[in-house]
Amino acid sequence: MSADAFIQCRVTSEIKALIQAVADRERITESALVRQLLETVLRTSTVGTDPGVGLPAKVSREARLSVRLAPDDRALLGERAAARDMAAATYVSVLVRAHLRALSPLPQAELMALKRAIADLC
């Protein structure tokens, strides 16, 4: 289920600072933190809920992985991902999956270019 609706509210600068501090500590965006807070409250609330309608199951913390990189390695990662027109996290995910499953780490765009080149040769 994709998130396509927005909720907006105004808070004091103190609350904003606290949300930012917690989000930074958890290494997530403020928006992701607020979404988690709302989901937690809604899961524990029984007021006005329809038993047939539920929130999506919470993704395990094991589904997200944080990796620290040295600044120069981060720069190289950014350059290589940009050269493939991919987000850095997506590029890392493709590389890790390829390594774990002994696959060729060829992004979709490069695969299509290779197939076109092979078709031109035939």
pLDDT in tens, 37-69: 888 777 766 655 555 555 556 666 667 788 899
Ramachandran angles phi, psi of 102, nearest 5°: 55, 45
What was the pLDDT predicted at 95? Answer: 86
Residue 97 makes CB contacts below 8 A (sequence gap 6+) with 103, 105
What was the pLDDT predicted at 103? Answer: 75
- Share of the chain residues as helix, strand and coil, in percent rounded to the nearest 5: 60, 0, 40
pLDDT in tens, 61-74: 667 788 899 999 99
E strand intervals along 2-103: none
Q: Which one is predicted more confidently, 55 or 16?
A: 16
**Average model confidence (pLDDT) for the chain?**
80
